[in-house]
Amino acid sequence: MSDADLVLNRQQLIRYGAAGAVAIAAGTLPGRSLAARPRMLAAAPKPGGTLRFARSIAPTTLDPANTIIAGDIYTLDKIFEPLFITSPAGKLTPWLATGYTVSKDKKTYTFHLRPGVKWSNGQPLTSADVVFSLDRSRKNPKGPLSFLDSAITSISSAGNSKVVVRLSAPWAPFISDISAFSNAIIPANYGGASETAFFKNPIGTGPFTVSGFTPDAPSLTLKKNPNYWQSGKPYLDAVTFTFVDDDNQRLLQLRGGQVDVIDLVPPSQVGALRSASNIHTLLSPSWQVDLLVLNEKDPHFADRNVRRAVMQAIDTKALAHAATFGTAKPGGSFFPPSLQYYSKSTKVLPHSLAAAKADLAKSKYPKGFATELLIDGGVQKWRTFAQIIQSQLKPLGINVKLRPLDHAAFESAFQKFDYKMFIDYAINDISDPDEMASFELDYKEGGSSSYWSSFNNPSVTKLVRQAQREFNPAKRAKLYAQIQDAVAQNAPFVPLDYPPYINAYSTKVNGFAVNPGGAYRLETVWLA
C-alpha cells in the first residue's frame, strides 16, 4: 500500500470526501431538544414536481474518478452509481450488484450484476462497463481516491453479468472501498464519445440525467431518468440546484419559499429555524471530527506529557457548546460515534486542570512555554475554538499566540509542517474505519505523516495494519478499541467535537435524508 503518490490522494479523501450512511441524530440547545429524523413517508408518495435546492458549492466536474471537492459528489451521485452503496441506515447495500462471492483465500471477489439495469439512453449495463470503470479509477495517477483500489491486481468479465476482481492480499475494507463514489460505473469507452464530450453530456444508471453540464455555472438542472432500474422512481420530475455560497442568502431563500432545501445551515440559526412552522431542520451525524493537531516536530509536543496536559486542560464539552450552539457532541475518541467500530469505552483523558498540571510537571516544560495556534481565519468556528483553547491553556503557563491565515496559506503551512498546533477536521468517506485509522496513524503508509502530526508509534501502526486484514467483526472491533485507547492515551491530537450535517427544508419535502459523508440520495424524495 506504500506509494508516495498517495499523499495527496489520502489528504483529499479524508478532508474533502463524502460517502457512507448512518441513522439521523442531533445535539441539544439549552432547554430544547434538537433531535431530528427524516420526515416519514406517507403511504403513497406523490410523483412529479421539481425540487429546488440551494447548495453552497458548485460542481467543477462530473467525473467520479477525478472529483476532489465534495460539492461535485452531491451532483454526480444522482447520475452515476457504484456496485454497492451505504444506506441511510448505515449498512453496505448491494446496488448495481446484487451481491458477491469470495474465494477461500479472500483474494478473489465475483460480483453478480443486477439484471435489467439500463443506461439513461436505454442500453443495458454489462460487465464490460464495470471492468472499464474500475480499471479507469484504479489506474488513474491523479485520481484522489485511486488508492482505495490499490489492493486490486486485475478486473475481468465472466460473461455479461459477472465481474471478477482479484486482490494482492486479503483486504477487509474492500467492499466498503468499492462503494466509494470514485468507483461509480460509467459506460465502457465513454459510450463511444471522447472523455471530454462524455462528461459534458453524461450517460448514467442513476435516477437523474443532466444535459449540457458547465463547470461552476450558477445553476444546474437534473431531469428524471425514464430508464431508471428502480420501478416508479425517482418520484421527482427534476431537481434544480442553485449555488449560493452566502449562508444568509440561502436561509432567506428558504424562508421566502424561493427554494425547498438548503445545506450548511449555521448552527446559530438552528433554534430560530425550528420555530418556523413551514420548515424542517435536519441534523445528521457525520463521519467528521474536528481536531486540534499537535506537531511532534516541535520539541514541546514531542513530549508525551505535554500533549496529555493539553488534552486534559481543554474542556471539550464547554467548547462544543459555545462554538456550535449545542449542535455538536463534545470530542472523545478520534473516531466519531457514527463510525463503525467506534468504542464508547475509549479511555479518554478526562478534563481536569489538576491532572493537566500534574502531567505538565512530569514534562521538560513544567512551568509552561510560549507556542502558536494556526487556524483558517475565514472559519468563524475555528476562531471561536482557538480563543477558548487559548484561554484554557493559559492556567498551565502555556501562552498561545493565534495565527490566522487565509485558506490557501493555512493549507500550505500545515502541510509543510510550518506550525506548532492547528485546528482542522477529518472526515471518513466510506463505512469502514480503516481510512481514518490509516490516514491519521500510519506514519509511513497513511499518506499524511499521521495527519501532519508526525505521530509515529510502531505498536499503533501494527494494530492498524492488523485490522486491515482481519475479517472477523468481533476481532476487528477489539483491534479498533485498542487503537482508540492508544490514541487517547498518547494524545497526538485532541478530538474537539463531532459536528452534525445541518440541512433545512420545506415541510412539503418528504423522504429527504443525509448520510454521514454528507451525501443525499434523491430517488425517494417527493413533494406534497
Higher pLDDT, 362 or 427: 362
Helix (H) or strand (E) holding 465: helix 458-468
Distance CA(483)–CA(460), nearest Å, equals 6
> 225 and 328 share a domain?
no
State the first-to-last Cα distance of the chain, in angstroms, to the nearest integer: 50
Report the CATH number at residue 411.
3.10.105.10
The grid coordinates listed for 310 are: 493539553
* Residue 145 pLDDT class (50, 70, 90 cuts): confident
> 518 and 485 share a domain?
no
* Residue 216 pLDDT class (50, 70, 90 cuts): confident
Contacts of 361 (CB under 8 A, 6+ apart): none
Residue 277 domain-assigned (yes or no): no
Nearest CA to 11 out of 394, 383, 477, 452 is that of 452
Residue 254 domain-assigned (yes or no): no
Residues 20, 483, 109, 227, Cα dihedral to 10°: 0
Residue 261 domain-assigned (yes or no): no
Contacts of 65 (CB under 8 A, 6+ apart): 133, 136, 137, 140, 143, 145, 146, 182
> 356 and 468 share a domain?
yes
Least confident segment among 86-95, 151-160, 182-191, 199-208: 86-95
> 478 and 510 share a domain?
no
> 378 and 485 share a domain?
yes
- Is the per-residue pLDDT at 323 higher than 50? yes
**pLDDT at residue 517, rounded to an integer:** 82
Nearest CA to 26 out of 18, 36, 16 is that of 36
**pLDDT at residue 74, rounded to an integer:** 86
Q: pTM of this prediction?
A: 0.84
Q: 45-62 pLDDT, tens per residue?
A: 999 999 999 998 888 889
Distance CA(168)–CA(101), nearest Å, equals 17
> 304 and 213 share a domain?
no
Measured in degrees and rounded to the nearest 5, phi and psi for residue 219 equal -155, 165
Q: Which residues pair with 146 in a beta bridge?
A: none
Measured in degrees and rounded to the nearest 5, phi and psi for residue 399 equal -95, 115
Contacts of 358 (CB under 8 A, 6+ apart): none
Q: Which residues pair with 424 in a beta bridge?
A: 291
Contacts of 153 (CB under 8 A, 6+ apart): 166, 167, 168
Which residues in 213-225 are b (16+ Cβ under 10 Å) and which e? beeeeeebebbbb
Q: 118-130 pLDDT, tens per residue?
A: 999 999 999 999 9
* Residue 13 pLDDT class (50, 70, 90 cuts): very low
Residue 134 domain-assigned (yes or no): yes
> 433 and 505 share a domain?
no
**pLDDT at residue 69, rounded to an integer:** 62
HEC per residue, 35-80:
CCCCCCCCCCCCCCCEEEEEECCCCCCCCCCCCCCHHHHHHHCCCC
> 325 and 192 share a domain?
no
**What's the whole-number average pLDDT of the chain?**
90
Residue 446 domain-assigned (yes or no): yes
> 228 and 356 share a domain?
no
> 387 and 473 share a domain?
yes
Report the CATH number at residue 106.
3.40.190.10
Higher pLDDT, 400 or 427: 400
Structural domain boundaries enclosing 337 = 288-498
**pLDDT at residue 170, rounded to an integer:** 96
Q: How many domains does the chain have?
A: 2
> 22 and 58 share a domain?
yes
Residue 458 domain-assigned (yes or no): yes
Coil/strand/helix, residue 106? coil
Residue 60 domain-assigned (yes or no): yes
> 417 and 451 share a domain?
yes
- Is the per-residue pLDDT at 68 higher than 50? yes
Nearest CA to 109 out of 160, 65, 172, 21 is that of 172
